[in-house]
């Protein structure tokens, strides 16, 4: 099952990239559990098909944590592909165990690189998924928890490339990769509202919004959110207002929201407010990200 999910996810990404005739730097780290062999793969599709997860090589002890932070370090140390400004996509089945994330956070910030973690709600081991979420929070990345059968059709296509949206906007290849232009993290608990930093839409023709609804999976205590952008001189002021049932209809058991629609905003500064409601009073941090195309 994991092999099928892995293959489908990466082939989905590659097909969309090839469709746009864009250059693609690929650095695949092939980490075999028994000998820790790492190599750069020249032919991506062939490599993926030949190096799919093999359950017989996995850890039998569920208390063993993932070495995903070591994988990140290896990528940042490489001299074969560009590191500065990298967007890293990592699928996670095994959670890491508790460890200090400050070194990897510092290195990601140094290189202006950020990570999209797609994390399974049903892990095979490890104990600390919050490590992944905290890394994303502290480096302007994004971390969504998701049932594995939704990996390829939801978070990869929407969070990383947003191809369908770009094509519908008729922007062509130059608009393929979303650029992070607004990132804020907001602490929520129970029911309330908060004022976020203003959003300057000048020189940003198109805006794409993504946000997390919980800092852990699966979706549970979240009940409702309303994200609003307002400027009295703009007819493009508006909001996203969704309940838990709305999110479940779109994404199932996912802990993030993406409206799957681009915003064409006037080139002005918008005031941003965020209203929220949860069924408990547990404090958690949400990631709110705006991208331009």
pLDDT, tens digit, for every residue of 208-226?
A: 899 999 999 999 999 999 9
Q: Which of 92, 53, 47, 101 minimizes the C-alpha distance to 73?
A: 101
The domain 2-163 is classified under which CATH number: 3.40.50.10130, 3.30.540.10, 3.40.50.410, 3.50.50.60? 3.40.50.410
The CA distance from 230 to 258, in Å, is 19
DSSP-derived secondary structure letter, 242? E
Please give the residue that has the higher pLDDT: either 78 or 220: 220
pLDDT, tens digit, for every residue of 227-238?
A: 999 999 999 999
Lowest average pLDDT, out of 80-89, 133-142, 174-183, 264-273, goes to: 174-183
Q: What is the mean pLDDT of residues 25-36?
A: 41
The CA distance from 230 to 244, in Å, is 24
Position 279 scores a pLDDT of: 98
Tell me the H-state helices in the chain.
Answer: 2-19, 44-50, 68-77, 102-110, 130-138, 163-168, 244-251
Going by pLDDT thresholds of 50, 70 and 90, the confidence category of residue 261 is: confident
Going by pLDDT thresholds of 50, 70 and 90, the confidence category of residue 62 is: confident
Domain locations in the chain?
2-163, 174-292
* Dihedral pair phi/psi, residue 285, rounded to 5°: -110, 130
Tokens representing residue 37 in the block: 């062999």
Cβ atoms of residues 191 and 276 within 8 Å: yes
Q: What's the pTM value of the predicted model, to 2 decimals?
A: 0.81
Q: Exposed e or buried b for every residue in 99-109, given b needs 16+ CB within 10 A?
A: eebeebbebbe
Query: What does CATH list as the number for 174-292?
Result: 2.60.120.380
Q: Which of 162, 187, 189 minimizes the C-alpha distance to 176?
A: 162
The CA distance from 272 to 175, in Å, is 25
The CA distance from 146 to 134, in Å, is 17
pLDDT, tens digit, for every residue of 85-121?
A: 888 888 898 999 988 999 999 999 999 998 989 899 9
């Amino acid at each position: 099952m994991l092999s099928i999910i892995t293959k489908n996810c990466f082939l989905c990404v590659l097909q969309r990239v090839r469709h746009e005739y864009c250059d693609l730097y690929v650095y695949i780290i092939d980490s075999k559990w028994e000998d820790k062999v790492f190599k750069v793969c020249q032919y991506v599709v062939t490599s993926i098909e030949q190096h799919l997860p093999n359950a017989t090589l996995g850890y039998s002890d569920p208390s063993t944590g993932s070495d995903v932070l070591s994988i990140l370090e290896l990528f940042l140390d490489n001299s074969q592909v560009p590191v500065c400004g990298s967007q890293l996509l990592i699928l996670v089945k095994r959670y890491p165990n508790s460890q200090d994330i400050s070194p990897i956070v510092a290195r990601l910030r140094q290189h202006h690189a950020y990570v999209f973690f797609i994390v399974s709600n049903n892990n095979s081991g490890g104990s600390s998924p919050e490590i992944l979420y905290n890394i994303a929070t502290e480096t302007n990345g994004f971390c969504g928890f998701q049932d594995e059968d939704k990996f390829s059709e939801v978070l990869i296509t929407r969070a990383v490339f947003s191809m369908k949206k770009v094509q519908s906007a008729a922007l062509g290849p130059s608009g393929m990769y979303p650029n992070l232009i607004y990132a804020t993290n907001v602490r929520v608990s129970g029911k309330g509202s908060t004022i976020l930093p203003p959003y300057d839409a000048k020189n940003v023709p198109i805006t794409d919004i993504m946000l997390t609804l919980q800092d852990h999976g699966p979706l549970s205590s979240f009940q409702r959110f309303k994200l609003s952008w307002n400027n009295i001189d703009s007819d493009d002021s508006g909001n996203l207002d969704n309940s838990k049932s709305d999110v479940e209809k779109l994404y199932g058991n996912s802990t993030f929201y993406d409206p799957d629609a681009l915003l064409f905003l006037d080139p002005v500064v918008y005031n941003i407010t965020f209203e929220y409601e949860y069924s408990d009073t547990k404090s958690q941090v949400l990631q709110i990200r705006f991208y331009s195309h």
